[in-house]
Structure 1
Amino acid sequence: MTRYCYLFIFTVSMLMSAGAAAQGTYKIKLTNLENRKGDVYIGWYVNSSDFMKPKKATIAKIVPVNGVSEVTVVFPKVPSGKYAISAFLDENGDKDLNLSFIGKPTEKYGFSNDVRPAMRPAFFNEAAFDVNGNDGEMTIELK
């Protein structure tokens, strides 16, 4: 009887581990902060309709930066999938990326894959990358 109990426990544990999504730890290094003060908002998005909408980020962190030129933010247990990241430095504390009257950002911002379109924000597909359950790292230079 105990042999069947062990077999049952082994089978259940294998099924549970097979059903769990693969996860990895990601380190995102944000550079070009120019020793400024404020909070960096980092959002991970899974689709284009939510991209760059901080309240719709699948994964998000707000990190205070005070007088540093770069910061590394660790995201543990990121499930496998396709993501695009947007980040911005909120220098004035209003929790928003401020824009000039012509729509150009007045605070530093950046995207995964270090996408830098000249006259528009990045598109989701340009910034998208795959997380496959392994650990990874990426550098995003804010501009």
Structure 2
Amino acid sequence: MKRLIFTSLFILFAFNLYAQTVPLTLNIEKINSDKGNILVGICATADEFAEKEPCKYFFSIPAKKGTITESVNVDKGRYAVLVYHDENSNNRLDMAMFGKPTERYGFSNNKYGAFGSKPPFDEAAINIDKPVNITIKLRK
């Protein structure tokens, strides 16, 4: 009986330890209008960040001019965050000629690739093993 109780407690502890989540607080700055939504993807892999697969976490926040602060609990791990202001609520980042975005966007670490494109996953990735607070400044 003691062995069964010990084994049960060990399994319960192991699952709790493995499933631990931590808060990620996002400060999203330079929102130019109250129109539409702010779309946030928290991506655990390079394929998710490249939008070949859905991001592990994805959510929408009603836009508010200025700065929005939003907290979400995530599993401990390494993530890259992508954010864009979907002003016309069509659930995608609109592009002009030659692929230049017409809506504001940003990435974790405020990193950008060539000509303002998406940076590589490793440059935008952040380690989340304790509560983390990041600021993403949107740009166009």
TM-score (norm 2): 0.86
**Which one of the candidate residues 35, 58, 72 is aligned to 1:75?**
72
Is the Cα contact below 8 Å between 2:41 and 2:81 reproduced in 1?
yes
Letter in structure 2 aligned against 1:61:
F
Could you report, residue by residue, the CA deviation over 1:35-85 in whole angstroms, capped at 9, with x for unpaired residues? 34210110011111221429601011101114x201111102x11111101
Runs of 5+ unmatched residues, structure 1: none
Is the Cα contact below 8 Å between 1:52 and 1:86 reproduced in 2?
no
Letter in structure 1 aligned against 2:60:
I
Deviation at 1:16, TM superposition (A): 2.1
Runs of 5+ unmatched residues, structure 2: none
Is the Cα contact below 8 Å between 2:47 and 2:53 reproduced in 1?
no
* Aligned length, in residue pairs: 136
Identity of aligned residues (%): 27
Deviation at 1:14, TM superposition (A): 3.3
RMSD: 1.9
Is the Cα contact below 8 Å between 1:43 and 1:61 reproduced in 2?
yes
SS at match of 1:122: coil
Show the counterpart of 1:88: 84
TM-score (norm 1): 0.85
Does 2:109 align with 1:116? no
Show the counterpart of 1:29: 27
